[in-house]
Structure 1
Amino acid sequence: MKKSWLLLPVLLFLLGFPPVTSAASTAYFTAIWENGGQSTSPALLKEGVVYTNANILESAGLLASRSGSGSRTVYTYSSWKKSVTVTTASKTAKLDGQTVSLGGKSFVYKDELYLPARFVVGALGGETVSWNAKSSVYTARNLHFFSSASAVYGGVTYTVDKQTGKLYAQAPAGQPRLIANLGSELYDMIDFNFRKTDGGLLYLTIKDIYGEPHINNKWYTLILKDGMVIRQASVGYWQRYGDNVKMYGDNLILTDGKLLRVIEDGTGKVKETLDLVKLGGIDDKYLVEAMDDDFLLIRPNQKGLLMLIDRNSGNKTLLYKELLDADQQLYAETNDIPFYGDRLEFTGRTGNLLKFKNQAVQDGRIYEYDLSKTQP
């Protein structure tokens, strides 16, 4: 990317502006983002330079921090691929570790930092489009996002670029290394979960809960061996929460909501593939809430009624019909808050008895189902 904009004399930038004044006047900053989105925010015109609120850097995915006080307050905006550091009343900044000219002097107005709009646009990889002197609107386009999420495990930093869905790993003394493409953009509440297996594999789950009011639940699951991704899957649920089971016995589980793969620990070999749509009888994505050699507990996203699948016979049982009274059965069939379906939660097994709680009533009762009922 060319950065000649950092070296241009400020006079070139002033050509389209009204005469220099000492007092700031109201202006507007219109940002057109790389994804086509557009936002307009108040700005200030001061001494012939348009200044925009530095919080637009946060809108681009950079995390903000502040240190010091008064005229020596240092503002830092950073992500794993972009960093901006500015001191109050300074004419220079640190951009990606290099000292550059701001093309003006930063200042604080109403406890908010203001930076020259041209500098901000260049820092975000965009380009200036126009200055409308009549309406005092400064327009820039193709501003890039730099949002990411990171977590550290075993001394390695794992970072996902939320815009591209690419996952990187970085050792303390090394460079970021691309290890996987998750296949889609990530949006909001990113959570990493790491689990080391007895066979030396690493099971990594990245969860993205997004939307308003956070009704989408996207899972990315990856199995790593010696730092390399050897298996991965992803599944998205709508208005459905809860966790897919990760392991049973010495086996790892991967699912895309319609197919389930049983993975051998240590080798990563696929031991078995199960068709959840065929087993459940509904063309939907399923949560996998428990599994063992002889049974499977799955829940379709939309209807949300927990099913018991006997893995030996293939028999299917709707557990709410077996465990709940008439009122609770009606609730399971008609309830839509916070989501459709029953609220049965598997808690474990003793012999042939599967045990559940009913979170819809939270009465402390343990509901038991005898697996031998499903056997032919």
Structure 2
Amino acid sequence: MIVNKSYKIVGATALALTLSLTPISGLLPDLTPSVFAAQPHKETPTVSSKIELKNSSFKKNGVLYVPIKELSEYVDLHITQTPNKKYVYINSPLESVRIAPKQSKAVNAEGTTIALEGSPIVKQGVTYVPSSLLAKSFGIKLKWEGKSSISLQVNQQYVSNSFEGMLFWLNRDNGTLLMGQAGSIPKSAGKVEIENIDWIRIQPRKINPSTFVIDATNWHGEPHIHETRIRVLINDRKIVKQGVTNFSNFAGMNTKSNVNGFKGNVAIMNGSKLQLVHPTGKVVKTYNLEALTGVKDDFVVEAIENDFLLVRPYIESTLFIVHPTRNKSALIYPDLLDEQTIKLIAEYPPNEVGYVGDALTYKGYNNKKLTFTFNHPLLSSNKTYSYTLPF
């Protein structure tokens, strides 16, 4: 195994070089520039902007048509479609309108019929609607500048997402979470414990017909090197439990997402406290990971099995294995890696750009053995390791 001896990086210089060469979307996991365009941070609530659309607007019989899905990325609109693809819903935090191709009328959340200047048009899989519908139903006024250019008041007070027709809206200003079925006006489920909202995404999933989980990730600070993760448990359309973890300065960039849960219970990390929570909000089991590992930090829980838990503190980003019922834990990488690699991991400053912790990735568990892959950017070889339970 060959180690690059000059692995020490000067923090400020490395950070400046990295940011000058790498688009910010490349520094944040699972995000693309289009996501940032859809959810920009704004100093003021409303900004007048000229936007270049990928799908050009057009006029037909004197009616201006705009690509509703693409346009929704710049305003508080979220577009959903019925499973049979018969109807499209244009949703906002205050209204929802149902449209259908070749129908010159729409229906709002109250069931009122709205006459359209022209029927919605589908061209090459893209749905276009009369711009007057947006002004009439949502107060969105725009000006066509020709071809793909439009001018409008960009205003995104909310970040939104949906799951199987259920929509979720998170207010950027006060953390209020709204939810409701497509075609209805959403109602408050409570407040999410989040601060410094900037570049944020929310990802909902369904536990059962009355229970949902929202995973929110917020990158903030300049240049967006601080990350906050929030998991929110919603039962009967009310927030019943939530947890928050934070890390800063790129440390722990290789950390995975928290595992969803275990045996029907939802895993909620709150700092260094892991709770397994019943879908109704009742706490079934609590683990104090700071006490178990001796590390004072926020944690990620990467695996939960009958025989063990795998947890990783953000700053050092090194995996611990924890016994589920005894007060025992063990740091994994010293038992797997060679002496030179252990020294590299131990001496590399956690706050430096490029720090990846122990560079171990959990792959699975079989016959009392855990499998890990090891991939460190400063080393020349990748390896797979088998690890026997230490308990």
TM interval, shorter chain, is 0.5 to 0.7
1:292 is matched with which residue: 294, 298, 305?
305
Q: Which amino acid aligns with 2:274?
A: L
The one of 175, 183, 189 aligned to 1:173:
183
Rate the CA distance shift 1:218–1:173 in 2: closer, same or farther, 3 A.
same
1: distance between equivalents of 2:47 and 2:273?
Answer: 48
| Aligned equivalents of 1:330, 1:211: Cα separation in 2 | 32
Residue 261 of structure 1, CA deviation: 0.8
Relative contact order: is structure 1 or structure 2 higher (C-alpha 8 Å, sep ≥ 6)?
A: 2
Q: What is the Cα deviation at residue 275 of structure 1?
A: 1.2
Give the partner amino acid of 1:217. Answer: E
**Distance in structure 2 (CA, Å) of the matches to 1:180 and 1:362:** 50
Alpha-carbon distance, 1:344 to partner: 0.9
Q: Is 1:370–2:381 an aligned residue pair?
A: no
Q: Which moved more, 1:345-354 or 1:208-217?
A: 208-217
For 1:318, the equivalent position in structure 2 comes to: 331
The structure 1 residue matched to 2:75, chosen from 75, 78, 89, is 78
Q: CA shift at 1:73, angstroms? A: 5.8
Q: TM-score, normalised by structure 1?
A: 0.62
Q: Does 1:245 align with 2:242?
A: no
Q: What does 1:1-376 correspond to in 2, within 5 Å?
A: 54-55=48-49, 67-68=57-58, 78-79=75-76, 80=92, 97=137, 108=145, 146-185=156-195, 186-196=197-207, 201-238=211-248, 239=250, 240=252, 241-264=255-278, 266-335=279-348, 336-360=352-376, 365-371=383-389, 373=390, 375=391
Letter in 2 for 1:230: V
2:93–2:178 contact (8 Å) kept in structure 1: no
CA displacement at 1:174 relative to structure 2 = 2.0
SS in 2 for 1:279: helix
Q: What is the identity, as a one-letter code, of the residue corresponding to 2:238? A: M
Percent of aligned pairs with the same amino acid: 20
| CA deviations over 1:253-277 (Å, ceiling 9, x no partner) | 111122111123x544211111121
What SS class does the counterpart of residue 244 from structure 1 fall into? coil
Distance 2:42 2:165 in 1: 38
Q: How far apart are the structure 1 equivalents of 2:139 and 2:289?
A: 57
Contact 1:306 1:320 in 2 (8 A): yes
Per-residue deviation, 1:192? 0.9
| Residues 196-230 of structure 1: CA deviation (Å, up to 9, x unaligned) | 35x97433212223445542222221222333332
Q: Tell me the CA shift for residue 321 of structure 1.
A: 0.5
Helix, strand or coil: the match of 1:55?
strand
For 1:331 and 1:97, the matched residues in 2 are separated by: 60
- The answer on whether the counterparts of 1:334 and 1:341 sit within 8 Å (CA) in structure 2 is no
Residues 54 and 113 of structure 1 are in contact (CA less than 8 Å); yes or no, is this contact kept in structure 2? no
User: Pairwise CA RMSD of aligned residues?
Assistant: 4.0
Tell me: CA distance 1:344–1:72, structure 2 relative to 1, closer, same or farther (3 Å).
same
* 1:55 alignment partner AA: S
- SS of structure 2 residue aligned to 1:157: strand
Runs (5+) with no aligned partner, structure 2: 1-40, 77-91, 96-131
1:333/1:69 Cα in 2 relative to 1: closer, same or farther (>3 Å)? farther
Name the SS for the 1:287 alignment partner.
strand
Question: Is the Cα–Cα contact under 8 Å of residues 299 and 306 in structure 1 kept in the other structure?
Answer: yes
Deviation at residue 55 of structure 1 after TM alignment: 0.8
Deviations 1:68-111 (A, max 9, x none): 2699766766313599xxxxxxxx997564889x9xx97859x9
CA distance in 2, matches of 1:99, 1:203: 31
Contact 1:232–1:254 (CA under 8 A) maintained in structure 2: yes
Q: CA deviation at 1:357?
A: 1.1
Distance 1:293 1:168, change over 3 A: same
Q: Is the 8 A contact 2:375 2:383 kept in 1?
A: no
Output the amino acid matched with 2:363: T
Larger Rg, first or second structure (1 or 2): 1
TM-score computed with the length of structure 2 as normaliser: 0.60
User: Aligned letter for 2:234?
Assistant: L
| TM-fit CA distance, 1:248 | 2.3
Q: Residues of 2 paired with 1:106 and 1:293: CA distance? A: 60
CA contact (8 A) 1:53 1:113 kept: no
Distance 2:262 2:232 in 1: 16
Aligned residues of 2:163 and 2:204 also touching (Cα < 8 A) = no
- Structure 2 CA distance for aligned equivalents of residues 99 and 200 of structure 1: 33
Shift in CA distance, 114/286, structure 1 to aligned 2, threshold 3 Å: closer
1 CA distance for matches of 2:221 and 2:54? 23
The structure carrying a bigger strand percent of its residues is 1
Find the residue that maps to 1:366 and give its secondary structure: strand
- Count of aligned positions: 282
> Counterparts of 1:272 and 1:189 in 2: how far apart (Å)?
30
